[in-house]
Chains A and B, each alone.
Chain A
Amino acid sequence: MKKFASLLIAGSALIGCAGLAHAEAEKDAKAISYSFEGPFGKFDKAQLQRGYKVYQTVCANCHSMKFVAFRNLADRGGPGFTDAQVKALAATFKVSETDSKGDTKDRDGMASDYFPSPALATIAGLGAIPPDLSLITKAREGWHGTFNQLLNNVGGPQYVYSLLTGYEDPPKGVAPIEGKYYNPYFTSGVWISMPPQLTDGLVKYDDDTKPTVDQMAKDVSAFLAWTAEPKMEERKQTGLEVLVYLLILAGLLYAVKRKIWAAIH
């Protein structure tokens, strides 16, 4: 009983302190859900393909994605493009190469090339450096709190979604800042240097999904969840096999242990 009471005290102390956890952004991310959540969740291939298109047509103008290569688009557990599609996608880009004589030449992109980074000229004068997006959904938290994150994940994809759809007029009495945009979901203050990016119909989807702002934000944030964690499906699948194996092993060990200990008193 006493033990129980002390556990209770410990528990309430934990929850009390967790409540103090600060929020970095003015607002927590919107808690939308994705197909890839939960222990059995998988990426929605069509969504990743749409997200790729949003990324390439919009975000890639300013943001790099250094850790992802075109070939990855055909990897298992990813957007599921075919090898031929990947080749074609890569070939729409030009890659400049320096040969042994020191001459620079442009060639068509190949599946093995990494995503090209935007030209420096485009991103100069934006007021802040657009971060590389490869890992962005793992590098940001949508909400805080030890227990909150244990139950609801860290909310990285939701953060990106909320950022893209969260631009607002500044509240009354708050003077606008030249070259900055008001966004209460942004982690570092409410003024972000990235202008609002999405408008209805901005990207022409290849399937018959309607390219609304909300849809594009969902698709591109799902795509960024994949770029940050491309082995997620393999991880969960392996995890299932490992857990089943360990559970059976634990059961067997427990049975043998009980049998052997039965005679000891």
Chain B
Amino acid sequence: MSGPSKYQPTSAVGKWFHERLPIVAFAKDHALDFPTPKNLNYWYTFGGILAVMLVVQIITGIVLVMHYTPHVDMAFASVEHIMRDVNYGWMLRYLHMNGASMFFIAVYIHMFRGMYYGSYKAPREVLWMIGVIIYLVMMATAFMGYVLPWGQMSFWGAKVITNLFSAIPFVGPEITTWLWGGYSVDNPTLNRFFSLHYLLPFVLAGIVFLHIWALHVVGNNNPTGISVKSDKDTVPFHPYYTLKDGFAIVVFLIFYAAFVFYGPNYMGDAVNYVQANPLATPEHIKPEWYYLPFYAILRSINNKLLGVVAMFSSILILLFLPWLDTSRVRSGKYRPIFKLEFWVFCVVCVALGFVGAQKPNDTLSWIGFLLTLYYFAHFIIFLPLMGLLEQPKRLPNSISEDVLAHSHGKLAAAE
């Protein structure tokens, strides 16, 4: 945040309060006046969308807890009680269930946006790394939430994923027992997952606060990737971005509502409508869609420990992204080779997701292995090399020059 606050308390009470707690000035500076580049496109609205989704998950979650019972004998029935007997319970539950998927759709778009426009580069490294931590905590939260309805996939998903820790040399089995609170996934596991599932979203809210703090120290990146140079490059957040984000949020809610009300079980697994049964393994255990690329990486390597290491590395490598990319130019818009490779990388990630969804067979294992190789090569080989080898296009002198050039281009075309 640059410059002194523009907030001037007008009333005596306002002044008295401001001298003791300048919270109104803080809110005005950060939510209303914050200077924001004027060329942000709709890919930049997903941050606001994510904040809304976090609030939606917390509110629907808190109300669900009022009717939910975290016990292996009652959890499944209590969720059915919510669906059948609680007023608008079906809506709460479908909002929460699909809300998790929407949350991940938004976070993936948000992250790939950052990768395309080089938003992780100096001075935004810490902002980016906080984002990666948010993503990790989200994954943990959703994983534990999925266990709560105690369906077949809740149980077996939890079993498979917690079992991964047994691959750790020497102490693995002890760690797994410790995680389970016993010798299998059972009531203690459900109870602790419930406790953590309630806690983590509030931890998330805290980390999101840090994320926005870091954002407001360095300011937004923008599609040109060039830094703000003068006041001409920015507009105050309100009303310009409150309205643009507001519109995007409502459009996203329409997409979300379409699933909640017309296809609420489309993204879920049918098997989770069968109550958990430790004696009957489902034919095909697979996690929710948002974990599938990582599940594919896990299974692509024929050694449990290495698979687990590869899976965790595939996420943790994102923390090093600011230093793996050697290009001086931030935005992919001006990087012809990177731009192409970026889209290939996107396709590879989606393809990994599809491989993760299938029952494993030899051909698929090979495809999965090659895709995994590409995934890591993108970070370790292509990004460092492209930055050194490629010849970037000429950058505009400033954001406002770029905006002007575009609107003139449009005018010229119209004439």
**Taking beta carbons and an 8 Å cutoff, which residues of A are in contact with B?**
2-3, 6, 9-10, 13-14, 17-18, 20-22, 24, 39, 66-67, 72, 131, 134-135, 138-141, 146, 149-150, 153-154, 156, 187-188, 228, 230-231, 234-236, 238-240, 242-243, 246-247, 249-250, 253-254, 256-257, 260-261, 264-265
**What B residues does A18 contact at CB under 8 A?**
354
**What B residues does A66 contact at CB under 8 A?**
77
Are B273 and A253 in contact, with the CB atoms below 8 A? no
Q: Can you report 13 residue pairs joining A to B where beta carbons are below 8 Å apart? A: A6-B344, A6-B347, A13-B354, A17-B358, A39-B262, A67-B80, A135-B274, A150-B263, A235-B90, A240-B261, A246-B254, A246-B257, A264-B403
Are A10 and B265 in contact, with the CB atoms below 8 A? no
Task: Using CB atoms, name the residue of chain A closest to B235.
Answer: A264
Are B239 and A150 in contact, with the CB atoms below 8 A? no
**What B residues does A139 contact at CB under 8 A?**
270-271, 273-274
Chain B interface size, under 10 / 10 to 19 / 20 to 34 / 35 or more: 35 or more
Bound: A134/B81 CA distance, A: 12
**Taking beta carbons and an 8 Å cutoff, which residues of B are in contact with A?**
38, 77, 80, 83-84, 90-91, 94, 235, 239-240, 243-244, 246-247, 250-251, 253-254, 257-258, 260-266, 270-271, 273-274, 283-284, 339-340, 343-344, 346-347, 350-351, 354-355, 357-359, 364, 403-404, 407
B227 to nearest A CB, angstroms? 19
**What A residues does B355 contact at CB under 8 A?**
17
Greatest chain B CB density within 10 A among A17, A188, A228, A238 is at A17
A144 to nearest B CB, angstroms? 10
Bound: A117/B284 CA distance, A: 30
Bound: A238/B83 CA distance, A: 15
Q: Which of A9, A138, A149, A256 contacts B273 (CB 8 A)?
A: A138
Bound: A250/B265 CA distance, A: 26
**What B residues does A135 contact at CB under 8 A?**
80, 273-274
Are B260 and A24 in contact, with the CB atoms below 8 A? no
Q: Which of B80, B257, B344, B407 contacts A265 (CB 8 A)?
A: B407
**What A residues does B343 contact at CB under 8 A?**
2-3, 6, 9-10
**What A residues does B258 contact at CB under 8 A?**
239, 243
**What A residues does B340 contact at CB under 8 A?**
2, 6
Given A13-B350, A139-B273, A236-B261, A253:B243 Cβ within 8 A? yes
Bound: A72/B85 CA distance, A: 10
Task: Using CB atoms, name the residue of chain B closest to A10.
Answer: B347
B291 to nearest A CB, angstroms? 16
Bound: A249/B257 CA distance, A: 14
